[in-house]
Structure 1
């Protein structure tokens, strides 16, 4: 049996995954995608354990089909008071614009799976069909526990060395994240040299060296893109930006308006919003933050500053300081209910 057939047979889905998209994916979106025959996903990296449990249980109440739960597995931030204060001073003019004071200090607003035993236990208790990892890998003991619980495991890789680590640890599949992808780049070490491989090159590279199912991710927006990824050797394709305009997503009106406008054609990979490289629609925050050569605070400390600034801007009616993550295929986004979008993707992929 081919990897493609083995992957879809194991989960009983089309070779289509809705990307987790923490903060955008909802139980309603994940369930609608899964009910349509693809694999829906939840991103819980920005949630507390209690919030994550509620999201999983809500999704389980809306579908009896498999869905994926994604966690952030980053190394905790290395604190550097001088760097953090320099970053806040750099953002001071933006806070001044809205007549609010920047925070006196930055908080590590997102806890990593790597340091959260309660999250690990909650996932074993709720047992989603799939658990996936971004930014790094769990321990061998944790991975074995998931496998013993019958949970299918995935991890993101942006290059061959990361993929080899994933294979060696014993994962069930690899999400090959190309440079075109929206949102956070899954690289294990954000300080390492990034070759910025395209999705097509990365999939072919992994197909020649990896003995696991590969999920292509990055810049895929339609069925033709899915078919191309499968032809390159992927077992499935993961689409994120394609699902943002679905009414079931949590994207607000400003986000949706940007994605439907010419601004969607201008995205940038930047660490300024969160402290880690991530691709989003260029806005005033990114333009200001990238001037002057000031190093952002570490992830997720920089995100604390950006979110507080965006909160002040939003109260004043501005969306110019929000993280509107989007991939390079953003101009191809279509506004459809999730079920209809999945059905259309299947038709396009199959050439119907």
Structure 2
């Protein structure tokens, strides 16, 4: 189902034709000539970094800004080499990248309110990226089971697993974590083959009314999520920040 951008020159051409204002990359850098082509169209480019080595590679490639993704973040880890994930927290990473690179840094991971945004800015970030904070907004695509889980005790123990996709990602633990990701379970195929299999497993279970294999991304700040309309949440974040 999933195709890497690195193997998708047709997607590159779509981006060059449409010239969106911003393109953001996860799991590493695309080829330099692709970066140069996108920049020539006036597109602002962001890349996720999880450590200083990755940030320095981003800086030398001509990217416009770094997304500093701490280990608290929900969803996939943006680490370039999965076997070398240093698991650095958002604030330690943000401060390190802000002080040792020249690019603007956007802090991501565990930030849920104005106080978190302010802390990131005080550490040198130029901005903050929030995801989990918006899951309970009525505009999000989260289904009823996901929303219920986000308002249950499960939000207090998010975890990382590669069992969902083949690459480490943080979410609300369920049988994908405990059964598929069990140390004695069969070895996982590479990303994104595991992701395709997990989606098929969830579809089969869901058809029988079972949500035990649903993918429910959430960062460590999930207990702070608020069920507000998105515009109201943004306004609230602005008030908390001021």
TM-score, length-normalised on structure 2?
Answer: 0.97
Q: Which 5+ residue runs of structure 2 have no aligned equivalent?
A: none
Equivalence for 1:69: none
Deviation at 1:136, TM superposition (A): 1.2
**1:198 matched to 2:102:** no
The answer for the alignment partner of 1:230 in structure 2 is 121
Counterpart position of 2:171: 280
Q: Which residue of 2 aligns with 1:208?
A: 99
Aligned length: 241
State the shift of 1:277 in Å: 0.1
- Is the counterpart of residue 301 in structure 1 residue 205 in structure 2? no
Deviations, residues 179-221 of structure 1 (Å, cap 9, x unaligned) = 00000000111122x2210001101111121000000000000
Conservation of the 8 A alpha-carbon contact between 2:2 and 2:196: no
**Aligned pair partner of 2:52 in 160, 185, 188:** 160
Matched, 1:145 2:37: yes
Structure 1 match to 2:213: 321
Q: Within 2, Cα distance between the matches of 1:147 and 1:332?
A: 37
For 2:151 and 2:98, the matched residues in 1 are separated by: 35
Structure 1 residue 181 and structure 2 residue 68: aligned?
A: no
Greater than 3 Å deviation, 4+ residue runs = none
SS in 2 for 1:179: coil
2 CA distance for matches of 1:203 and 1:295? Answer: 34
* Structure 1 runs not aligned, ≥5 long: 1-108
- Indicate whether 1:341 and 2:233 are aligned: yes
1:314–1:293 CA distance, 2 compared to 1 (3 A): closer
Q: Distance in 2 between matches of 1:240 and 1:166?
A: 22
Aligned-partner Cα distance in 1 for 2:173–2:157: 6
Residues 78-117 of structure 1 mapped to structure 2, 5 A cutoff:
109-117=1-9
Match of 1:121 among 13, 25, 30: 13
> Residue 3 of structure 2: SS of its match in structure 1?
coil
1:265 corresponds to: 156
CA–CA distance in 2 between the matches of 1:247 and 1:266?
24
Q: Distance in 1 between matches of 2:132 and 2:208?
A: 27
SS in 2 for 1:340: helix
Cα separation, 2, equivalents of 1:272 and 1:132: 25
Question: Partner of 1:331 in structure 2?
Answer: 223
Q: 1:296-349 deviations in whole A, cap 9, x for unaligned?
A: 111011111111110011111111101101000001000111111111001101
The equivalent of 2:22 in structure 1 is 130
Q: Max radius of gyration: which structure?
A: 1
TM-score for the superposition, normalised by structure 1: 0.67
Shift in Å at residue 245 of structure 1?
1.2
Cα distance in 2 for residues equivalent to 1:294 and 1:237: 38
**Cα displacement string for residues 57-101 of structure 1 (whole angstroms, at most 9, x for unaligned residues):** xxxxxxxxxxxxxxxxxxxxxxxxxxxxxxxxxxxxxxxxxxxxx
Q: Deviations over 1:264-308 (max 9, x none)?
A: 111110101110000000112211123215431110111111111
Partner of 1:327: helix, strand, or coil? Answer: coil
